[in-house]
A and B are shown apart, each in its own frame.
Chain A
Amino acid sequence: MSSSSGLVSSPGIGSGLDVNALVTSLMQPAQNKLTLLKSQQQSYQTTLSAFGALKSALSSFQSSLSSLSDPSQFLQLSADSSDKTIVTATAASGAQAGNFSVNVSQLAQAQSLSAAGVASTTSTIGSGTPTKLTIDFGTISGGTLSNGTYSGASFAQNAAQQSLSVTIDSSNNTLQGIANAINAANGGVQATIVNDGSSNPYRLVLTSTSTGQNMSMRISASSATGSGSPDSAIAGLLSYDPTGTQDMTQTAAAQNAQLTVNGLAVSSSTNTVAGAIQGVSLNLLKAGTATVTTANNTAGVTSAVNGFVSAYNTLNSAISSLTAYDSTGQNTGALLGDPTVQLIQNQIRSVLDNPLPGVGQSALSTLTQVGVQFQADGSLSVDSTKLQNAVNNNFSQLASLFATNGTATDSLVSYLGSSASTQAGQYAVNVTQAATQGSATGSVTLGASTVIGSGNNTLNLTLDNVSSSITIPAGTYTASALATAIQSAVNGNTTFANAGSTVAVTQSGGVLKFTSNRYGSASNVSFTGGNGYASLIGTTTNTTGLDIAGTIGGYATTGSGQTLTGAPGTAVAGLQISVQGTTTGSRGTLNFSQGYASLLSSQITGFLGSSGALTSATNSLNQTITSLTKAQTDWQAQMTQMQNTYLAQFTALDATISQLNSTSNYLQQVLGTSTGSSSGSSGSSGSSSGSSTKG
């Protein structure tokens, strides 16, 4: 009785039972199952982390490929100058390798004019009568220049440069006020005040903000109200007409840079000369002779190839450690024997091992040809001699080996771009209709000289569907000179320039012809009026341009201007080529290849994509981990349920034993009192307890 109630209040004390043995034999199986679930989950978790490491190794490798995927990285030339104090040079796409002798005889320069000195920068000049100063820009030619003053010269206004106007009145009629007004107008003239130390030391100096001989200034003063005279003191200080009164003195003449490139004369309005050498920009610093050398950027390519090899080796060693076998089991990789990793590794190797599809017979087509090869341990190595040979002898083909590129056999056909679905291959280019330019030809035959004045100097025209009006600078022109003047007025027009449209104006027998520099159906020229229209052009014959038409590899294309684009759904989908010239029919072959970098990059995109091998592998791992987590939760719940069942049974049984005791006490009492022989009763009780100890 006491041992039973003791169990309730203080379970197990004095029971003498082997507690540990009971725990081991009864609870351990349940615990074992939980431990097993946990270790399974841990193992899947490790595999999942390993896939994460693989993903990041693949992503790093892919980013290292991006510089190799871009052909401009390879085709880029380096430009160098033998004397960087005379000229520096930078190369862009389109540059050719070579040596160029550059002789700079004159730098481009902006005109500077200096006014007469005054005593103070803040004293008023004149009476404050509102006076408009107008600054025109143009070219001074002829005559003589002596002590900063022209005589007998002429001035041709630069139609492409807007005139600058400022008003001087009683609010700003000091030297400082005039300088401030000109600078605030921000119209191509910089005003500064110079102190020359003389008795009237302050001189206003005006400098054109642009270099070039067509940026000389002509300054006139007029009444700001439109009637009456300008203030005579302002007019007398600042008027400047190179063909007449020059109140200011020229301290620097506007001039173009003059240079020769390989003996050919070049003039440039600025000291940055683009186009004198194709694809090369020259920056002129002083007069003198230097040699500019453009060369293949071999150092850049060599380092790009070495970078590729080292990026692959980084990926390779990451995969090696993830799939390592170690007989002790200590350093075994989590992905040892994993089929997804094997697939990825095999596919990448297979790309690198096989010749590149789509490159021509004579071109480089394998990595081993440029000295990149597999070593016994699966890493790549570079044979620098072989690579240098390839760089020296096959430089342009290196681009196709690594980058997505197209090369054409016809020099007037060029590769512009491709889409992800363009397939590598050699495609015949066939042109059924060459692209043409829109044009307008006039009916008026111009004489030997044409005078342009205020009555015949405007033309209204539409170029490539954009309309504007142009003004021809006043002057006397031959037919050729007029064609040139109109061409520069149109090409200097901001409306046309903003639309990217330019025109070429030619004359034949005194008849002007306007040709849009654009090709295709969007190319057109027409005239709508202007005061010079009837006398300079007359009626026009207009021709709208035609888009190119043809096939690439026999597949349909769409033509826009000179550009053919492969039709969607074909092998050449998205392939873009430009075809120049008027020849129709066969135009040679285009070899289109996706270089190793491009192939690998799109393959890795495939692995990492939402339906890629890696994603499905990690998705299934995540599912397994989720179900193992649920199994653990379920098993925990079952263990708790088991425990609750035990607890209920314990409580009920404990109460039952307690009740048994109380009932048997009663029965023992009955036995004791009714017999009157207590010994018989205790004897029976003794046998009962004796059996209890035995049991």
Chain B
Amino acid sequence: MNSATELLSHYELIAGLTQNMLRAARDGDWDGLIELEKQYRARVDELKPVDAQVPLDDSQRARKHAVIRRILDDDARIRDLATPHLMHLDRLLRSSHQRRALQEAYGNSR
């Protein structure tokens, strides 16, 4: 991706991934989200060495920034959805630990 066109289409690809990630988060498909995030990260990692080398004109840069903002916007929404779920899991695990501790203390009343 040495041309500006290639770079921008790569950004569009990334934006498509974050859109899919947001859908997965909304649907509670957390395993899907985790899978998509790996692809998302890999695409961004591919971008990193070339991003600054590709010359862009103003309109191309504006397009690029607009895409990045879309990506970051989706990213923020994804975290808005994931964080409460993480809390929820945390509570479940804590209550399981409590129950186990109680059983150990009083024995299994069978």
Residue positions of A touching B, CB distance < 8 A: 3-4, 7, 11-12, 15, 17, 19, 22-23, 26-27, 31, 38, 41, 629, 632, 639, 643, 646-647, 649-650, 652-654, 656-657, 659-661, 663-664, 666-668, 670-671, 673-675, 680, 684-685, 687-689, 691-692, 694-695
Contact = CB atoms under 8 A, between A and B. Distances in A.
Interface in B82-106: 82-96, 99
A656 B21 CA distance: 11
Contacts of B91: 12, 17, 19, 22-23, 26
Contacts of A17: 84, 87-88, 91
A16 to B, nearest CB: 9
A688 B61 contact: no
A660 B71 CA distance: 11
A4 B73 CA distance: 18
Contact of B94 (A11, A657, A661, A673): A11
Contacts of A674: 56, 61, 64-65
B108 to A, nearest CB: 8
Nearest to B92: A646
B68 A667 contact: yes
B34 interface: yes
Interface residues of B, number: 45
Contacts of A664: 71-72, 75
B72 A647 contact: no
**Interface residues of A, dominant DSSP:** helix
A7 B56 CA distance: 41
B109 A659 contact: no
B93 A22 contact: no
B51 interface: yes
A687 B73 contact: yes
Nearest to B67: A667
A649 B30 contact: yes
A643 B93 contact: yes
Nearest to A674: B61
Given A649-B89, A652-B34, A691 B73 contact: yes
B72 A660 contact: no
B89 A650 contact: yes
B44 A650 contact: no
B30 A629 contact: no
B23 to A, nearest CB: 15
A667 B43 CA distance: 12
B69 A22 contact: no
Contact of B77 (A673, A684, A695): A695
B26 to A, nearest CB: 11
A685 B72 contact: yes
A688 B70 CA distance: 10
B58 to A, nearest CB: 11
Given A22-B88, A652-B34, A646 B83 contact: no
Interface in B21-74: 30-31, 33-34, 37, 40-41, 44, 48, 51-52, 56, 61, 64-65, 68-69, 71-73
Contact of A650 (B79, B93, B109): B93
B96 A649 contact: no
A639 B72 CA distance: 38
7 contacts: A12-B91, A23-B91, A663-B40, A666-B44, A667-B75, A673-B52, A684-B69
A18 B51 CA distance: 45
A269 B59 CA distance: 148
B78 A660 contact: yes
Contacts of A688: 72-73, 75-76
A646 B85 CA distance: 11
B69 A689 contact: no
B81 interface: yes
A12 B88 CA distance: 9
A12 B87 contact: yes
A695 B80 contact: yes
Nearest to A625: B110
Contacts of B86: 4, 7, 650, 653-654, 657
Given A4-B86, A12-B87, A27-B96, 18 more contacts: A3-B83, A11-B93, A11-B94, A12-B91, A19-B91, A27-B95, A629-B110, A643-B93, A652-B34, A657-B82, A660-B78, A663-B75, A666-B48, A670-B51, A671-B69, A674-B61, A687-B73, A695-B81
Contacts of A661: 79
B37 A23 contact: no
Nearest to A677: B65
Given A17-B87, A695-B80, A656 B92 contact: no
A26 B48 contact: no
A692 B84 CA distance: 11
A673 B82 CA distance: 29
Nearest to B40: A663
Contacts of A659: 37, 41
Contact of A684 (B72, B83, B84, B88): B72
